[in-house]
């Protein structure tokens, strides 16, 4: 089956169903109408401020989540004191919908960017911590012992043995975190409405501007697809590079 055929089929049905009257065009406008609305939003400049606001919040939160989540997960796997401290917190917070925390966080920090960024960090860090923990925990102890027996420093063993061996699990966690981060972003902007794609989406739904709603959803879908596609391509190159490095060392 040719790649992206399924997406083309979805777009074709999206165009055909309202045109044929099977679905009401008032609440489900054809795909061509949504594309025209999306283009108009960018041409008039209405979309750009919301897109930039969302991207800023997402980028700041995602970088912080990476900087905390991956080291924390590896530390949990290697140090029992860290695991005993963080594991109960993760167990308690993992099932809680992060959107439910937004009103409470807004009471503490207000409705500005800081509260939205914190919500995204809370949602995104958990899959990163878990994936890094399982990846580092799954490293064979014999590999670490062998490296230490050959005189490798413990800190160097972390970067030369543990991290490369855990990298596939870590990258899988990062891919999952990308999707979670977008969901948390939209949820935060939906509840604390000031700017951003979440604000634009749900504000347009409130006033029944459905073509604008679907145009915003289309932009969000393209963002999610682009993030995932780009990361998968980067992940493939990273793993190939790691295999080449291992081969040259051997």
In a domain, 207, yes or no: yes
Q: How confident is the model at residue 239 (pLDDT cuts 50, 70, 90)?
A: low
In a domain, 93, yes or no: yes
Name the DSSP letter for residue 21. Answer: T
Average pLDDT along the chain = 83
Range of the domain at 233: 51-249
190 and 199 Cβ atoms separated by less than 8 Å? yes
Whole-angstrom Cα distance, residue 191 to residue 132? Answer: 31
How many domains does one find in the chain? 1
pTM exceeding 0.75: yes
In a domain, 30, yes or no: no
In a domain, 43, yes or no: no
State the greatest distance between any 2 C-alpha atoms of the chain, in Å, as a whole number. 74
Out of 77-81, 100-104, 112-116, least confident range = 100-104
- For residues 38 and 163, the model is more confident at 38
Q: How confident is the model at residue 6 (pLDDT cuts 50, 70, 90)?
A: confident
In a domain, 39, yes or no: no
Q: How many residues does the chain have?
A: 250
The closest of 125, 137, 134, 61 to 94, measured between CA atoms, is 125
The closest of 94, 99, 181, 182 to 130, measured between CA atoms, is 94
CATH number at residue 202: 1.10.3720.10
In a domain, 14, yes or no: no
In a domain, 36, yes or no: no
Q: How confident is the model at residue 150 (pLDDT cuts 50, 70, 90)?
A: low
In a domain, 242, yes or no: yes
- Model confidence over 37-62: pLDDT tens digits? 999 999 999 999 999 999 999 999 99
């Amino acid at each position: 089956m040719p790649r992206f055929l399924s997406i083309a089929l979805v777009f074709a049905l999206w165009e055909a169903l309202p045109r044929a009257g099977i679905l009401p065009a008032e609440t489900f406008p054809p795909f061509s109408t949504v594309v025209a609305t999306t283009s108009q939003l960018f041409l008039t400049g209405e979309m750009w401020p919301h897109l930039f606001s969302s991207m800023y919040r997402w980028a700041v939160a995602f970088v912080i989540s990476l900087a905390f989540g991956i080291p924390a997960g590896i530390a949990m796997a290697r140090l029992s004191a860290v695991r005993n401290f963080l594991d109960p917190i993760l167990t308690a917070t993992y099932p809680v919908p992060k959107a439910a925390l937004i009103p409470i966080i807004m009471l503490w920090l207000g409705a500005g960017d800081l509260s939205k960024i914190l919500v995204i960090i809370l949602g995104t860090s958990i899959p990163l911590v878990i994936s890094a923990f399982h990846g580092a925990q799954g490293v064979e102890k014999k590999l670490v012992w062998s490296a230490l027996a050959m005189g490798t420093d413990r800190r160097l063993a972390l970067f030369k043995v543990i991290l490369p061996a855990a990298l596939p699990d870590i990258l899988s966690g990062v891919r999952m975190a990308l999707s979670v981060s977008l969901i948390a972003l939209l949820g935060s902007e939906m509840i604390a409405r000031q700017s951003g794609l979440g604000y634009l989406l749900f504000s347009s739904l409130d006033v029944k501007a459905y073509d604008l709603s679907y145009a915003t959803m289309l932009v969000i879908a393209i963002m999610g697809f682009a993030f995932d596609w780009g990361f998968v391509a980067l992940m493939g190159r990273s793993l190939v590079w790691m295999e080449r490095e291992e081969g040259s060392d051997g």
